[in-house]
Amino acid sequence: RYHLGAVFANNFSNHVVALLQAYCAEVGLDPSVYREMLVDTVRDAVDGDARMLQTGPAARGDRSTVDQHLERLPEGFRAVYQALSESIERHAQ
């Protein structure tokens, strides 16, 4: 059970950061602009109720914005964006 939790805490969170870096490289953004946001998000989630702190279009049920993002995303990022958005929507209810 501990190892499975570690996969969520370490492997999956690291992979999301790696995807952010890859996305930034692909579209010409500097990933360092997200550093403070990432640090604050993880700190707040660890210190509080992460489910209650969830924000963004999926948490709001804003399907229009999710669909727009999916259309704009490079192909290699769509499946994970869709899966995470669906998970956020399910857990936000």
Contact 73, 65 (CB under 8 A): no
Give the rounded percent of residues in the chain with a pLDDT score beyond 70: 99
Instruction: Kindly give, in sequence order, each residue whose CB lies less than 8 Å from that of residue 11, ignoring residues fewer than 6 positions away.
Output: none
Q: What is the pLDDT of residue 92?
A: 85
Residues 6 and 46 in one domain: yes
Residues 2 and 39 in one domain: yes
Q: What is the pLDDT of residue 18?
A: 98
Residues 42 and 87 in one domain: no
Domain extent at residue 78: 55-92
Task: Annotate 13-29 with b (16+ C-beta within 10 A) or e (fewer).
Answer: eeeeeeeeeebeeeeee
The Cα 43–Cα 28 span in angstroms is 28
For the segment 5-54, what is each residue's pLDDT rounded down to a tens digit?
Answer: 999 999 999 999 999 999 999 999 999 999 999 999 999 999 999 999 99
Structurally, the chain folds into a number of domains equal to: 2
Would the pTM count as exceeding 0.85?
yes
